Structure 1
Amino acid sequence: MERWQDINNVVVVGLGITGLSVVNHIRKHHSNIAIKVMDSRDNPPGAEQLPTDVALHTGSFESEWLLSADLVVCNPGIALATPEIDQALQSGVRVVGDIELFAWANSKPVIAITGSNGKSTVTDLTGEMAKAAGLRVGVGGNIGVPALDLLELDADLYVLELSSFQLETTSSLNTTVSTFLNLSEDHMDRYEGMEDYAEAKRRIFMHADNALVNRDEPDTYPLESNATVTTFGFDSTQFGMQEVDGRTWLVDSGELIIATDELSIVGKHNWSNALVACGLLKLAGVDYQQALECLKAYRGLSHRCQVVAENSGVKWVNDSKATNVASTLAALSGLSLDGTLYLLVGGVGKGADFSELAAPLAALNVKLCCFGRDGHEFVPLHDSAVQYASMDDILAEITPQLQQGDMVMLSPACASFDQFANFMARGDHFTQLAQQYSTQVS
């Protein structure tokens, strides 16, 4: 409560579901505080749900409101370098985000997850496994439910995905365990360089009891933290992987956890995600052994290397979220199958260079199925490449050829808006076709 002393006037910058969660939280727990909301959009989402006694300014940021506030709660999508926000900071106004308010209110254990890739899958899987182990779990943050709304669950454990943007305005979050999965170039329009970006993500370790870090990426290690450091990676050290009798196993300090061929999720990056989930749970005092059946059955987030159909030994995988080359490379990394990979690629290439895909394709038994506006750009990458007009045409032609051990994967490396409204619509269409055609495989 002392953090709220002398705070009488709060300005929330940015509406949407996060802004609404901030307004609702303050009104419920600190009803004596006056709240104003501003949003640079003319018609911000959530405006119709805002209580009528909360002032709303739209179309710009109102500097006078910001400079007279006792506290500004800024949406993570709004950079602190925004002139009006920077002016308030320079004038001594405290600027925080919704995760900081969560930290002020929360007294339960927290698992916090950040990284350039894979954090949503790890967050979701960790939450599902914790539930399978018998805990009441709140899962959200940068994925799904805003963190402040999770407090209404009175959970035993909170599992939060946190973006670098959210971490910029967070300084008081106590975590039982935090992880920084990996670092790759992203958001360079917001950061001065990779070190600036990494520094924002490393804030996740500020008040962590334990840090789970990628031993192959030194930038994921905490620089200034009292956290106990545990590592994960692709060798057999601590949380890692090990070959035993021709099978790849996830291991915990040499102890076998589960063989990767027992998992429903596919790809080496997803094996790593599964490994991290086990590591996070162990470091949080949760027995992951109680959740191994959940781990085996987990099929991933929608549109992210998600197995959407399986029949007669053929898997159909929806990775429609792969809208760039890096995502498709991740999907192909460590992919192991007994038969042929039928890989669907194409769409709107956004001027990308697809040549990086040639080497991993050469190492696979693959048939490259190209479609969409820029599908022709993939044809030179592999001798098997065939150009099709549509996804429908591809599946109609290849289904009679499918045999046990094959995989049909949509991982387009392109945007979708030449033929679909968005990548979700593209993935949903693939899923519908996969479930239809999978029944025809004998």
Structure 2
Amino acid sequence: MRGSRLKGVPMVSNVIVGLGETGLSYARFLAARDEAFVVLDDAVRSDRLALLRAISPDATVGPIVGDVISVAKKIYVSPGVPLGLPVLADHTTHDRLFGDVQLFGQIVQAPFVAVTGTNGKSTVTQLFHDIAKKQTGRVALGGNFGTPCLDLLSSDVDLYVLEVSSYQLELANNLAADVAVLLNLSADHLDRYSSEQAYFKTKFAIYNNCRSAVVNRAISCSLDPSIRVVSIGMDEADGDDEFALLGDAITLSGEVLLKQDELKLSGRHNLLNIQAALAIGLLFDFDMSTMLEVVKDFSGLPHRSEFVAHIGGVRYVNDSKGTNPGAMIAAVSGEASERNVHLIAGGVSKSADFARLQDTIGRYIKRAYLIGDAAPLLYSALPEIDCAIYTGLPDALKDARNIADSGDVVLLSPGCASFDQFTDFAARGETFRQIVERFES
């Protein structure tokens, strides 16, 4: 083991499994309480080890081994570490395993919002954070997006806004959020979960013991009848506390609030995300007119249906964060105007099922430019579309530029993870942006 030698294994109280961003936040959390800990990780990056040494110079670091885990009193598991790992599997039903979000919920003193869903989480948390800053005191944003939640804890914060992933919910069965939000569900992370239903069940844990909820009417769920529920949807509805659509307008209880052409945010699918942010605000009794002004000025986040450029009548959109088929479907449907989308897709499939792509978005795709490990799978899933497989994003984007006509959209929405050709989705999106910017020069 690196660092100080592990002596007297039975004396180990705290073990951190995984030294990513969350693992480092566990280290800061424990060090602030003068509690010693051991860190286990099979592939420690040098930059993260340096950060750990700044927190605790003498912390022991070693590979993930069962003998250390078996004697630990508390095991702090990073979200990226599967609970099905053999050395952890025997402990998942015991109270020795801790996740950062559940730990946060047990400690936090101020109200907090917890947002999950297959897609759109970051957009909603950022938008509601911006809304809340106009109407309350100090607001802290983080979780799966941005700052790890344990690093946010402070007596100065009046309201916390958290994005929560399915991985985090695996150890957060009693989160008790003041407002819980499940935006949408589509199959994802099937390389980690045994089935689509297992993944969905994990997501539903967001509602456990919540004090109020935002519910998508397209998702069937059963909640405590004593809590207040506000619903959202892409359908028409005019009941009390129901956000809905009427044409291209967002409504509340049947009254029009704003129209899509008043927004800076791109894509029709984002109308649901806006509804969710407004619904959270409604549950906090925020002023609606002030919320709408923030919504109108919100242009979105990088790599999420992000407008990059308009060149020769062609619109270029970066949706590199679209790492599953559901996100791809939402982005294509949101950006399309009949059959005018040049879709760049592919990467690592994460065992995703692409079978419904032809039926759901085939009518919008003018041509598909496929890259990465999943390119052959996507090619097979789009039998009625003009498709070609490319060695990488630069070649695909160059061809898309040459083929696209005025009025078309060149959309990077991979429907896959990025780590076959890029370090992460942000690097993939930045590559797309840089190439498009060179087109302009």
Note whether the superposition's TM-score is higher than 0.5. Answer: yes
Q: How far apart are the structure 2 equivalents of 1:133 and 1:436? A: 41
**Which has the higher mean CA deviation after the structures are superposed, 192-201 or 308-317?**
308-317
**Which of the numbers 215, 218, 231 marks the counterpart of 2:217?**
215
Q: What TM-score do you get using the length of structure 2 for normalisation?
A: 0.80
Question: Could you tell me which of 113, 118, 121 is aligned with 1:119?
Answer: 121
Q: Secondary structure of the residue that 2:285 maps to in structure 1?
A: coil
1:305 aligned partner: 305
Cα offset for 1:270?
1.3
Q: 1:194 to 1:44 in 2, by over 3 A?
A: farther
Secondary structure at the counterpart of residue 304 of structure 1: coil
Post-superposition offset of 1:167: 1.9
Task: Give unmatched runs, 5+ long, in structure 2.
Answer: 1-10
Q: Conserved in 1, the CA contact under 8 Å of 2:118 and 2:188?
A: yes
How far the C-alpha of 1:14 sits from its partner, in A, is 2.0
Q: Distance in 2 between matches of 1:377 and 1:257?
A: 42
- The C-alpha deviation readout for 1:128-171, integer Å capped at 9, x for no partner, is 22234464321111111100111248322111111222122225
Instruction: State the match for 2:4 in structure 1.
Output: none
Q: Distance in 2 between matches of 1:233 and 1:131?
A: 25
**Cα distance 1:198–1:336, how it changes in 2: closer, same or farther (>3 A)?**
closer
Q: What secondary structure sits across from 1:295 in the alignment?
A: helix
Aligned to 2:344: 345
SS in 2 for 1:117: coil
Match of residue 206 from structure 2:
204
What letter corresponds to residue 343 of structure 2 in structure 1? L
Distance 1:188 1:318, change over 3 A: closer
**Matches of 1:234 and 1:184 in 2, distance apart?**
16
Partner residue, 1:279: 279
1:381 is paired with a residue whose SS is coil
- Mapped to 2, the partners of 1:346 and 1:95 lie a distance apart of 38
Alpha-carbon distance between aligned partners in 2 of 1:272 and 1:346, rounded to the nearest angstrom: 24
Matched, 1:239 2:242: yes
Q: What's 1:4 paired with?
A: none
- 1:184 aligned residue (178, 186, 191): 186
Q: Percent identity?
A: 35
Give 1:402's aligned residue.
406
- 2:418 and 2:231 map into 1 onto residues whose CA distance is 37
Letter in 2 for 1:393: K
Q: Is the 8 A contact 1:38 1:62 kept in 2?
A: no
Contact 1:35 1:54 (8 Å CA) reproduced: no
| C-alpha deviation, 1:438, in angstroms | 5.8
Residues 41-190 of structure 1 correspond to what in structure 2 (within 5 A)? Answer: 41=43, 43=45, 46-50=48-52, 51-52=55-56, 54-64=58-68, 66-69=70-73, 71-88=74-91, 94-133=96-135, 135-152=137-154, 154-190=156-192
Residue 176 of structure 1, CA deviation:
1.8
Amino acid of the structure 2 residue aligned with 1:78: V
- Structure 2 contact 344–397 (Cα < 8 Å) conserved: no
Q: Distance in 2 between matches of 1:368 and 1:110?
A: 44
Once the two structures are TM-superposed, the CA of residue 75 in structure 1 deviates from its matched residue by 1.6
Equivalent pair of 2:370/2:379 in contact (CA under 8 Å): no
Opposite residue 168 of structure 2, the aligned amino acid is Q
Structure 1 letter corresponding to 2:298? Y
User: Structure 2: how far apart are the matches of 1:202 and 1:393?
Assistant: 42
Distance 2:422 2:79 in 1: 29
SS in 2 for 1:333: helix
Distance 2:22 2:424 in 1: 23
Cα distance in 1 for partners of 2:168, 2:347 equals 30
| 8 A contact 1:347–1:419 mirrored in 2 | no
Question: Residues 226 and 190 (structure 1 numbering): CA distance in 2 closer, same or farther, change over 3 Å?
Answer: farther
Q: 2: distance between equivalents of 1:372 and 1:194?
A: 25
CA drift at 1:226: 4.7
TM-score (norm 1): 0.80
Partner residue of 2:7? none
Q: How big is the shift at 1:323? A: 4.6
Aligned length: 418
Give me the CA root mean square deviation. 3.6
What amino acid is the match of 1:297?
Answer: D
Displacement of 1:330 in angstroms is: 1.8
The 3-state SS of whatever aligns with 2:321 is coil
Given that 1:322 and 1:413 are in contact with CA atoms closer than 8 Å, whether structure 2 keeps it comes out as yes
Q: Show structure 1 runs of 5+ residues with no match.
A: 1-6
Match of 1:3 in 2: none
SS at match of 2:269: helix
How far residue 257 of structure 1 moved from its aligned partner, in angstroms, is 1.7
Output the amino acid matched with 1:279. A
- Write the letter of the residue equivalent to 2:434: Q
1:132–1:343 distance in 2 versus 1, CA, 3 Å:
farther
Amino acid at match of 1:432: Q
> SS of the counterpart of 2:118?
coil
Code of the residue aligned with 1:253 in structure 2: it is S
**TM-superposed deviation, 1:116:** 1.9
Q: 1:37/1:276 Cα in 2 relative to 1: closer, same or farther (>3 Å)?
A: same
* 2:300 pairs with 1:295: no
Q: Is the 8 A contact 1:44 1:58 kept in 2?
A: no
Alignment of 1:377-388 (within 5 A): 377=379, 381-382=384-385
Structure 1 residue 278, shift from structure 2 partner:
0.8
| Per-residue CA distance 1:16-70 (angstroms, 9 max, x = gap) | 2212212212322x22x3333222335576222224455323122243454242x
